[in-house]
A and B are shown apart, each in its own frame.
Chain A
């Protein structure tokens, strides 16, 4: 009886979750439907002129899409090597006080609210301006660096998990073959955990793309056009949502906010779906 009640309760909760998700998606899509067209992205600029950057796009989402993409990719490029290297260290090198401390540091970093990272970037620039580089300012590079710190723990912990899930028998075999530490990691463990690491990268991509607090304190602005250089300010989708939903003067501007929400949702849903598939694949038994 008790077991059945518990089962029922779990089922009800699950249904509530699905209903909520469905409700949110339905609401966002229905609100943005009238605005989902070319004008949402390119305004009254001819599409090719906008994509090639010949003509600037006003009051539309194209610059924000490019900005989000750039800041996310740059953040990944910065965080990729340190993140994966930290993961390898945690998984493969002998447990010591240092590695325990490092693991703890990674966990703390993963739990840090993103607005703190933004604040860090903001004060960092003030410090740089006063002491080292007076010309330093809010920019794409600053945002990407702060986002990189934000996603670093995700990369490290997924890499660690992926490497630790390599079967013990395989590890013992590498010893039997007389492989050294480096050979074991490079020829056996890394290839075996590629998919796990890849899913970590995509998770980080989604995390970096949707974060608002960091970028609004470090360089995202309401109107900037396509990012012109690493040291320029830029537009980004999450910031567009924040800005237009709070500051709209016309219904069309509110429509922009809904359009940006749906675009961002599609972007992250696609990354998460691909991640999920890659992850499932990496968990399935290897037939080779």
Chain B
């Protein structure tokens, strides 16, 4: 049997990786289990089957938390959750591939023609984000529009350091992009040279790693990795979205082909109930039906 040294090295490498993993496995660590509020799950009593969900990626944390609570107490119910973006959500729900297709924007005409019915359940603000070391603390909508049009190209014109502005945007299928362009840029253009990222997470990573960067993401995703400057003097926060002071926001929708029935209807009712509002808030959004 011929053993090449390269194989010994590669085998040794993976063995050592495995052993690191096994030894650390033994230090069983209990993670912080989310303190889910005692939700009223009685409506699922006696039901079984599966719900398939796909679409807007911003929805996933909410759906996951709700699914976890439902499936823990009702093992006969199987809920699968996929992403794909608003466009994918509407298409798949329209084709009947999933029971619920999530979108982060109202349905387009073409999508309505598929026979979809929308169920809004939460509000999500979209904020400008920049690198935490960037001294700029406030921007006006005109400034943002001019930055994204490619007219303003240096931070020093905005009271920052003498540094080129690196533009980041989302792809065309993104619901976040569509609300940003519509509500903040007032249908203005996004310069061709802007870097495109695929998700809120990727946007955050990109901005956190580039001191000259500017981008936008869901308010729910903002943490210490990035900084959200005020827009026209208004703090981008959930509270300001509710009061209507902060204008760049959207509703999150669940969509079904025709009116929902059976398990899917129970699930949608649950997401819209007061009990599920804790999951929506824990994911960084504002429940629409909190007052119920």
Judged by a CB distance under 8 angstroms, whether B189 is at the interface is: no
Chain A at the B interface: mostly helix, strand, loop or mixed?
helix
Q: Mark A19-42, 1 if CB is under 8 A from B, else 0.
A: 000000100010001001111010
What are the residues of chain B within 8 A of A58 when measuring CB–CB?
Answer: 64, 68
Contact check, A284 vs B1: say whether CB atoms are below 8 A apart.
Answer: yes
Judged by a CB distance under 8 angstroms, whether A183 is at the interface is: no
Q: How far is the CA of A280 from the CA of B6 in the complex (A)?
A: 11
Interface residues on A, range: 35 or more
Contact check, A272 vs B52: say whether CB atoms are below 8 A apart.
Answer: no
Q: Residues of B within 8 Å of A, CB-based: how many?
A: 54
What are the residues of chain B within 8 A of A160 when measuring CB–CB?
Answer: none
Q: Mark A192-235, 1 if CB is under 8 A from B, else 0.
A: 00000000000000000000000000001111110010001100
What are the residues of chain B within 8 A of A129 when measuring CB–CB?
Answer: 95-97
Contact check, A246 vs B201: say whether CB atoms are below 8 A apart.
Answer: yes
What are the residues of chain B within 8 A of A225 when measuring CB–CB?
Answer: 71, 78
Contact check, A269 vs B10: say whether CB atoms are below 8 A apart.
Answer: yes
Least Cβ distance of A178 to chain B in Å? Answer: 35
What are the residues of chain A within 8 A of B81 when measuring CB–CB?
Answer: 221-224
Q: Mark A230-260, 1 if CB is under 8 A from B, else 0.
A: 0011000000000101111110101000000
Judged by a CB distance under 8 angstroms, whether B67 is at the interface is: yes
Known: A138-B97, A221-B80. A280 touches B33 (CB 8 A): no
Judged by a CB distance under 8 angstroms, whether B284 is at the interface is: yes
Q: How far is the CA of A58 from the CA of B284 in the complex (A)?
A: 19
Interface centre among B17, B25, B199 (most CB of A within 10 A): B17
Contact check, B14 vs A273: say whether CB atoms are below 8 A apart.
Answer: yes
Judged by a CB distance under 8 angstroms, whether B164 is at the interface is: no
Contact check, B6 vs A276: say whether CB atoms are below 8 A apart.
Answer: yes
Contact check, B284 vs A249: say whether CB atoms are below 8 A apart.
Answer: yes
Judged by a CB distance under 8 angstroms, whether B38 is at the interface is: no
Select one of B4, B21, B26, B198 contacting A246, CB under 8 A: B198
Select one of B27, B60, B68 contacting A222, CB under 8 A: B60
Least Cβ distance of A92 to chain B in Å? Answer: 28
Q: How far is the CA of A41 from the CA of B28 in the complex (A)?
A: 11
Contact check, A266 vs B78: say whether CB atoms are below 8 A apart.
Answer: no
Contact check, B10 vs A223: say whether CB atoms are below 8 A apart.
Answer: no
Judged by a CB distance under 8 angstroms, whether A262 is at the interface is: yes
Known: A266-B14, A276-B7. A36 touches B52 (CB 8 A): no
Contact check, B57 vs A39: say whether CB atoms are below 8 A apart.
Answer: no
Judged by a CB distance under 8 angstroms, whether B3 is at the interface is: yes
Contact check, B1 vs A249: say whether CB atoms are below 8 A apart.
Answer: no
Judged by a CB distance under 8 angstroms, whether B137 is at the interface is: no
Q: Residues of B with Cβ closer than 8 Å to A? A: 1-4, 6-7, 10-11, 13-14, 17-18, 20-21, 24-31, 33, 50, 52, 54, 57, 60-61, 63-64, 67-68, 71-72, 78-83, 95-97, 198-202, 220-221, 223, 283-284
Closest 6 CB pairs of A and B: A221-B82, A246-B199, A224-B80, A223-B81, A269-B14, A273-B11
Q: List 11 A-B contacts (CB under 8 A).
A: A43-B31, A56-B72, A129-B96, A222-B60, A223-B60, A243-B83, A246-B57, A262-B21, A269-B14, A276-B7, A284-B2
